[in-house]
Each structure stands twice: as structure tokens, then as C-alpha cells.
Amino acid sequence: SELRLVVPEGYVVTQPSGGGIARHPHLSMVAIDCEMCYTGVGVAQVLELTRASAVGPDGAVIYDKLVLPPRPITNYNTAHSGITAEQMRGVTTTLEDVQRDLLELVAAETILIGHSLEND
């Protein structure tokens, strides 16, 4: 029987180096960190991406973008995220923009490093 990957809605899958939009040659490793803010209130309150950053194999920053959540921010979570309302003024980058950008930087062969990546 054929193994089939099921990707949850809103998720994306890395491509092989040189395939799709993935860079060639691929980076050997990328370390990623994301910052989150809250949207919604009460039981509808959820964490949403508000910053995505990445460094390459030499430790240099290769990506750093603030991200506008699809719903209004109700708590900037500044104590943990470092994000403020002032920083977010004028931000138009979306989660989909970040996904597309990272699919160019991170090929299927790239080693992904991060803390709590299951949350990022």
C-alpha cells in the first residue's frame, strides 16, 4: 500500500532542494524562532504568529519579519514576545507570506533547529 502524507489545513510541506520554490543548493541548517500574540477573548483567545526569525548555518540572520495575525490582537504578550503595538503599526505581512518565504529558505533536506518547534 502507498504511504500518503496528510497535511492539516493551513500547514505547508517543504520541497526537495531545487524543487518547487526551494533554494538550490539548500542550506545545511536553519534555526527558527517565532513570537506569538493573543487574539480573541475568553475561550476564543488563541496564540497567533506575530514574528518569525531565522538564522543560517553561520549564525547570521537570514529572515526576520513581523506578521499581522488575521484577527485583531487583544494581548501583545510583550513580556514573552517582546512585541508591542507600536512595532505592529503598518505591518502587512501575513502567515501565508511567511510560509512562502520559508519554503524558499528551508528545503526538505535542511536540518531545522529550534526550541519548542511544535508550537512555532
74, three cell numbers: 487583544
**pLDDT greater than 80 at residue 89:** yes
**pLDDT greater than 80 at residue 28:** yes
- Give the pLDDT score at 38: 97
Residue 56 CB partners (closer than 8 Å, separation 6+): 27, 29, 30, 62
Cα 56 from Cα 70, distance rounded (Å): 28
> 41-50 pLDDT, tens per residue?
999 999 999 9
**pLDDT greater than 90 at residue 118:** no
Is residue 120 very low, low, confident or very high in pLDDT (cuts 50, 70, 90)? low
User: What are the Cα distances from residue 116, in Å, to 32, 36, 40, 119?
Assistant: 10, 13, 23, 6
